[in-house]
Structure 1
Amino acid sequence: MSGSQLWAVDVYGRGFSLWAAGGRWRRVADLLLELKRVTGSQHCCWGIGCDHQVYLHVYPSQVPIRHQEKTYENQRWNPVDGYTDTLLPTDRWQWTDESGLNPQPLHSFVLPSANWEWEGDWYVDDESCGRESSETGGWEYAVDFPATFTKEKKWNSCVRRRRWLRYRRYKALGSWAKVPLDRARPPPEPFTDISCGGWDMSDSPEKHIYLWAVSQQGKLWFRTGIRQQNPEGTCWEPIQVPQEVAQVSAGPKDLLWVVLWDGQLLARTGINKDCPKGSSWELVQPPNQKGAVHVAVGLTVVWAVTKDNKVWFRRGVNSHNPTGSGWISIGGEMLMLSMGPNDQVWGVGSDDRTVYFRHGVTATEVTGRSWVAVSAQLDGSASTNHSSIPFYIIFEILATASNCIFCLSLCLLIKLR
């Protein structure tokens, strides 16, 4: 997507977004939705509602989000009826997946949530069997199950199969939609924090997103199966952590840190495209004796806030050394921090609840030079004086972009109070 977008939540749970080109805070269209946390990527934004449910906002796009469902019809030949649906007791089911190990009748496919709709009915995939497949009905033949299937029918072809397809389309683009509970699984405990990352870990055209969440009981969860054509993902899986977790932050690549209830920090090791959940934890001591309350992870940087609202930068962090080598004190007092594109830093001031932008962040000066207040008009207001508007951002913010950052001129607008 073009341009940059900043997401924020105020003390009343109202969600707002700010585009670099527009220079105005825009209220979330769903006025009844109240959010506690937000996190996002270049294609979508996730949030935890005040009802403890997870919500998803997929950015509008001219390219539809379509997911292909497929199943295989199996038949066996007998000398009386020819090819028939009546199979031997030792055969696979009439309708199965490609391997034939799992039954998949047509009626077993249902929409994962109300956010999807069917594009049409089931149809035979003729193209998978060659140009002349329409004459053969899309069938593939083999001597027996589970031998290799070919499009050529031979004298000893005792079994055959054909693939059926159906597409579903994601219809909730541009709005906040509730993510359904996992099928046949008990719902996780209510979530208190959420963070997504990992979309730059692979060069694959279809970007995967790895979503992490923290529950009220201090457990860590991982959302599987999230990708562009399946933005809701598949299910939640628990991740073992030696102590209770208070907050989590995931970077665009392979960095993941958590804050523990006692103020210590853990860095996840072993994360890669083949093992997105990682393999182990390494303990990182907090910057001071007060202990950490918030951590923010970027491409190659880690920032933290301690209980006295002091801001710290972790030196020497990279993919080969995810724990870094030491802490550097940074001026300013913040409640929390968030990372944008190119390791740009955003913060929420501890005194005024104003959103701040770290000026001067470059590849050679990753800590930047100073904090600059980010201010803009509230959409629909003609006045630049917002002293009467109780718009104090206190929750996580995130900038999303295609390799660009907010212009500094935007950050120098009148402070929003």
Structure 2
Amino acid sequence: MPTSFLFGINGEGRVHTLSTTGTGWRELPYGGQEFKKLSAVPHFLWALGGDHQIYVYVHGLDIPIRVREEAYENERWLPIEGFSSRLLPTDRFHFSNADGTKDRSIDKIRLPSMAWQWEGDWKKELTLEGQPLDHDGWTYAVDFPSTFYHKKQWSSCVRRRLWVRFRKYSAMNSWCAIAPLHKDATNEPFIDVSIGGQNIPGADPGTLMVWGVTSHNRVMIRSGVCTSFPEGSRWSAIPTPEGCEVVQLNVGPTGLVWAALLDGRALVRVGVSRECLQGTSWVDVKPPGDGLKITQVSVGTNAVWAITQDKHVWFRKEVNGMATMCESLCTGSGWVEMIGRMAQISVAANNQVLAVGADDRLAYYRFGVTEEDKTGKKWRALRAPMQVSRASSSASFGSDRLHRSFNNLQSRPSSMIEQHVTSLDGEQSHSAPTAAASLPAGDLGARYETQPRHPRAWSPVHSAGSVLATEARPDTDGSVWSVGESSSCIFAEDEELGWAEFEASWSWIEAGACTVDPSAPLPNWFGDTSGCGSTTSLDLDASWRQSILRELRRRTPPGDLFAHYERPGEAATSWVHKGEARVQRGGDPGNWIDCLLELEWVQEGGLVNTGSVVGAGSLTVLNSDGASTLHIISLNDISCVQMCSEPGSPRLAIHVPRYRTPVIRLVFSSDALLEEWQAHFATTCEASMFLR
């Protein structure tokens, strides 16, 4: 299954992500803004900042977001002047869209926000349905509207040509602020935001839905949001029933919207369809029981989970998100209480569930959720190390166990840019200031400005609540546009980054962009201890443990009284250690495959205390199903076992000079497995060296 990402906000408001193929939390670029809430779909994040404004983050796209802008220049033939831009009152605009219904004057076509940049100047389209046109690009017709031809005829009374220009989204891998509802952002700040709707039945590909809630308890929907327009165009208010004050809402992947009310009830938006993305009406849903109030809801494809004010978790029965036009299937039939106390919950598109513990603030995964059993079996705590920096106070929690990374992360720090918001309530709202548009060259160049002189000169002025990265060019920064196995380009870079083994305290977990296949092995997120309840690590220095160890040492006689006896049983013994890893194929840094490892050691008889033990061993590397052998190495041929780990990727390099592959590299799922295998290699290879 392709790599997907789980996102979380720690106690300091920093956003971290955990890959389904990784083993540790990694921090996203920090630009001075802390976050309170987060909502995600693949490649797109929407978040509520500490300043109660909305931010969008685009990451991990293998193809840059490019939009083609078009404007048709129209002219009519006049008896004396010839073809002229002076049209009849019944004609279309001088510059228009394809059907002439909208004014598309080139001097008025501007970038949506500072998150976009032009790619070159306006150019004339010199083909029509695959047929070449003359150097001016004109096409001719009898009148508007009519069929246009590539050659002028005696009856041609009108002509037009197409001007084309491309713009690209340049704020990749950085937080971009969405303009507030009013000039003064403090007039009506936001208190919640949610993105979803990526799987609305029958909708156009790339359709997305963003809903928000303001401090005045108004419900807002962001129009125009799609994969090619991440920030959308404007906010529009959605009326709610009288007396219903919404405090939180969540949008499912099929467009189903649930909202929690101040009085503890829930509202469900029904009638969502490809023709009406905002839905048609609200339906009231009662809380689970008397005296209980719903404080948070989360929606999957066919599942709705909720949390009440006493931190208990509830599942809504018989919800079908694919039937957004049916009231009974949108609202379900009843609540079922789940075991466990959670502070916040998030449901993925495939109905998998993650949550934040109410008592310990750890991240939990609901184990056993399937299509047949949507409630699952039990909660399991995520045990993944966390990337921290010395600039973060979280580093002090685990300073004694902080492991420095071996290599710096390959990413770019974000910068900040000042924004001047000019949008009004009900008017178009931009995510950044509108840039001066560059206009046609060629025969129009005398009238309009061309490409800006310094397209990359974005002043890095620090402005609280306005985070926007400088332009990333694919020819100079390929990591921004590439999506590798680890997608490291979306992570933060800091001169003091490291890895901490302590258990982080989370305030928010977001699973909207995470896909965990319940039928496949779970990601490497879990330690040896699972289940709910207390998750504190074992105290090795406890007084009761030290007392037992002292008593055992006292009872054990000094030395080995039986060292001079031969080993009982057979003359030769052997053991085999097996495990899973990933092996590099053909020395290609990007070619890693799953494999099985078998380390076998055969030890013949002898006296234990004389050093006369004779033994030999081998390492066998099999493919993932164990059907074929990739490598067989004698331990006598190994000259060195070297640890060459990278952040989130525990690695060993086995040097075998006399083998056809002189270096075999292995990647393990956790640092514990790496240390275990390194210890076995150290023991067996040392014994083999002694026998040479």
Alignment TM-score > 0.5, same fold: yes
Distance 1:312 1:250, change over 3 A: same
Q: CA deviation at 1:48?
A: 1.4
Instruction: Identify the residue that residue 313 of structure 2 maps to in structure 1.
Output: 311
Aligned residues: 413
Map of 1:332 onto structure 2? 340
2:195 touches 2:251 (CA, 8 Å); kept in 1? Answer: yes
Q: Distance in 2 between matches of 1:335 and 1:232?
A: 29
AA aligned to 2:9 is V
Where does residue 250 of structure 1 map in the other structure?
Answer: 251
Assess if the C-alpha contact under 8 Å between 2:357 and 2:363 holds in 1. yes
- Counterpart CA distance in 2 for 1:48 and 1:117 is 26
Give CA-to-partner distance per residue, 1:164-215, whole Å, 9 cap, x none. 111101112222222346899x999311111111111146673211111111
1:9-408 equivalences in 2 (<5 Å): 9-133=9-133, 135=134, 137-180=136-179, 189-202=188-201, 206-242=205-241, 243-288=244-289, 289-318=291-320, 319=323, 320=326, 321-379=329-387, 381-382=402-403, 385-386=501-502, 391-401=504-514, 404=517, 407-408=522-523
Could you tell me how far apart the structure 1 residues matched to 2:200 and 2:536 are?
36
Which residue identity lines up with residue 63 of structure 2 in the other structure? V
Deviations 1:51-103 (A, max 9, x none): 22221111222211101111110111123332122333443332122232332
Once the two structures are TM-superposed, the CA of residue 385 in structure 1 deviates from its matched residue by: 4.2
User: 1:142 is aligned with what amino acid?
Assistant: A
Supply the distance in 2 between the matched residues of 1:315 and 1:209 (Cα, whole angstroms): 26
- Could you tell me the percent identity over the aligned residues? 36
Q: What is residue 410 of structure 1 aligned with on the other side? A: 525
Contact 2:350 2:515 in 1 (8 A): no
Matches of 1:290 and 1:49, distance apart in 2: 29
Structure 1 CA distance for aligned equivalents of residues 31 and 87 of structure 2: 56
Tell me if structure 1 keeps the 8 A contact 2:10–2:506. yes
What stretches of structure 1 of length at least 5 have no aligned partner?
A: none
Whole-Å separation in 1 of the counterparts to 2:306 and 2:233: 31
SS of alignment partner, residue 226 of structure 2: coil
Amino acid at match of 1:120: G
User: How far did 1:147 drift?
Assistant: 4.1
Structure 1 range deviating more: 139-148 or 118-127: 139-148
* TM-superposed deviation, 1:384: 5.5
For residues 361 and 234 of structure 1, the distance between their equivalents in structure 2, rounded to whole angstroms, comes to: 38
Q: Is the 8 A contact 2:387 2:500 kept in 1?
A: no
- Give distance in 1, aligned partners of 2:22 and 2:209: 30
Shift of 1:128: 3.5
Query: 2: CA distance between counterparts of 1:334 and 1:267?
Result: 23
**Which residue identity does 2:281 align to in structure 1?**
S
Q: Distance in 1 between matches of 2:35 and 2:135?
A: 55
Report which of the two structures shows the higher radius of gyration computed on alpha carbons: 2
Cα distance change, pair 276–411 in 1 and its aligned pair in 2 (3 A): farther
Q: Distance in 2 between matches of 1:171 and 1:416?
A: 44
Instruction: Report which stretch shifted further, 26-35 or 70-79.
Output: 26-35
> Contact (CA 8 Å) 2:20, 2:524: kept in 1 or not?
no
Counterpart AA for 2:525: L
1:236 to partner: Cα distance: 1.2
In 1, Cα distance between equivalents of 2:536 and 2:237: 40
Which one has a larger percent helix, Structure 1 or Structure 2? Answer: 2
In 2 relative to 1, CA 69–227 (structure 1 residues): closer, same or farther, beyond 3 Å? Answer: same
Which SS does the other structure have where 1:107 is aligned? helix
Cα distance between partner residues in 2 of 1:259 and 1:183: 25
Range with bigger deviation, 191-200 or 136-145: 136-145
Considering only aligned residues, what root-mean-square deviation do their CA atoms show, in Å?
Answer: 2.6
**3-state DSSP of counterpart to 1:342:** coil
Determine helix, strand or coil for the equivalent of 1:410: coil
How many Å apart are 1:220 and its aligned residue?
A: 0.7
Distance 1:323 1:343, change over 3 A: same
Asked if the contact 1:315–1:328 (Cα under 8 Å) also holds between the matched residues in 2, the reply is yes
Rounded Cα–Cα distance in structure 1 between residues aligned with 2:297 and 2:107: 46
Query: Relative to 1, partners in 2 of residues 1:416 and 1:276: Cα closer, same or farther, differing over 3 Å?
Result: farther
Measured after TM superposition, the shift of residue 44 of structure 1 is 1.0
CA contact (8 A) 2:54 2:193 kept: no
* Unmatched tracts of structure 2, length 5 or more: 389-401, 404-498, 530-534, 538-692
Q: TM-score, normalised by structure 2?
A: 0.56
What is the rounded CA distance, in whole Å, between the counterparts of 1:90 and 1:201 in structure 2?
A: 40
* Letter in structure 2 aligned against 1:253: T
CA 1:340/1:84 → structure 2, altered by over 3 Å: closer, same or farther? same
Q: What residue identity is the alignment partner of 1:291?
A: K
Q: Distance in 2 between matches of 1:375 and 1:324?
A: 34
User: Does the 8 A contact of 1:218 with 1:246 survive in 2?
Assistant: yes
Q: Does the 8 Å contact 2:131/2:150 carry over to 1?
A: no
Q: Distance in 2 between matches of 1:202 and 1:127?
A: 36
Q: What is the identity, as a one-letter code, of the residue corresponding to 1:190? A: P
Alpha carbons of structure 1 residues 281 and 25: separation in structure 2 relative to 1, 3 Å: same
Structure 1: distance between partners of 2:77 and 2:110: 31
Bigger Cα displacement from structure 2, 233-242 vs 51-60 = 51-60
Q: Give yes or no for contact 1:123–1:164 (8 Å, CA) kept in 2.
A: yes
Contact 1:213 1:248 in 2 (8 A): yes
Q: Kindly tell me: are residues 7 and 188 of structure 1, through their superposed partners in 2, closer, same or farther at Cα, counting changes over 3 Å? A: farther
Amino acid in the other structure paired with 1:410 = W
Q: 1:128 to 1:58 in 2, by over 3 A?
A: farther
Q: In 1, are the aligned partners of 2:22 and 2:524 still within 8 Å (CA)?
A: no
